Amino acid sequence: MTSSSKIAVRELPLFPLSEVVLFPTRPLPLHIFEFRYRIMMNTILESDRRFGVLMVDPAKGTVANVGCCAEIVHYQRLPDDRMKMLTLGQQRFRVLEYVREKPYYVGLVEWIEDHPPTKDLRPLATEVEQLLQDVVRLSAKLTEQNIELPEDLPDLPLELSYWVASNLYGVASEQQALLEMQDTVARLEREAEILTSTRNHLAARTVLKDTFNQKL
């Protein structure tokens, strides 16, 4: 960690969410209805529109120590002061200590970033993108639906690693581990493992489906 990042410490309002992991550059829509969080959002809207999102593990009853800062980019007030809002992930942070718990959590946090890469990340990113293509193609065939990757899939390896991690569903603990990594290579390699396993599973199901259809 560089000396400058050690100095990058600030207080940040914190929003714990059950099994939700936000990543930099990724959108997060929210429906704010709890009174304490309505207070928090109204306060944030009067300042820099930024707060921290932390994943809550309901099985363990724990709150993650590493999260992602969210910035409110659009909001709509609803009856009885509820709010719908669209937020966008910014930089990641680590909670150093909680400075307040009521009416909502505020933490002293430090920003964290990936370490500078020591090798060219493009070949690994290309491998991950190809695995994504395979998973999408097999999913489309299996479900007989038109499924495609978005045209704005990130080109940069770091942003691609965030995109893949944010689109893993039902595995919040795995997403949290990817969020906490500070090595882009390690994150992409882990995502390649996950996508390879998914591709192989889908391929096996596709073969079974084709075999079954041929017997009909």
Ranges of each domain in the chain: 9-111, 121-214
Alpha-carbon span 29 to 86, nearest angstrom: 4
Q: What is the predicted pLDDT for the residue at 54?
A: 98
Q: What is the predicted pLDDT for the residue at 33?
A: 93
Q: What is the predicted pLDDT for the residue at 174?
A: 95
Question: Nearest-CA neighbor of 65 among 26, 22, 97?
Answer: 97
CATH 1.20.1050.10 given to domain 121-214:
no
Using the structure block, give the residue that is written with the tokens 């996508």. Answer: 195
User: Is residue 84 a contact partner of residue 90, using CB atoms and an 8 Å limit?
Assistant: no
Taking residues 111-130, what's their average pLDDT? 95
Question: Nearest-CA neighbor of 177 among 160, 70, 168?
Answer: 168
Residue 212 pLDDT class (50, 70, 90 cuts): low
Tell whether pTM > 0.85. yes
Average pLDDT, rounded, for the chain: 91
What is the topology classification, in CATH, of domain 9-111? 2.30.130
Per-residue pLDDT of 70-87, as tens digits, reads 999 999 999 888 999 999
Coil/strand/helix, residue 178:
helix
Per-residue pLDDT of 147-187, as tens digits, reads 888 888 999 999 999 999 999 988 999 999 999 999 999 99
Alpha-carbon span 192 to 184, nearest angstrom: 12
Task: Determine whether 160 is exposed, middle or buried from the number of CB atoms within 10 Å of its CB (0-12, 13-18, 19+).
Answer: buried
DSSP label of 81: G
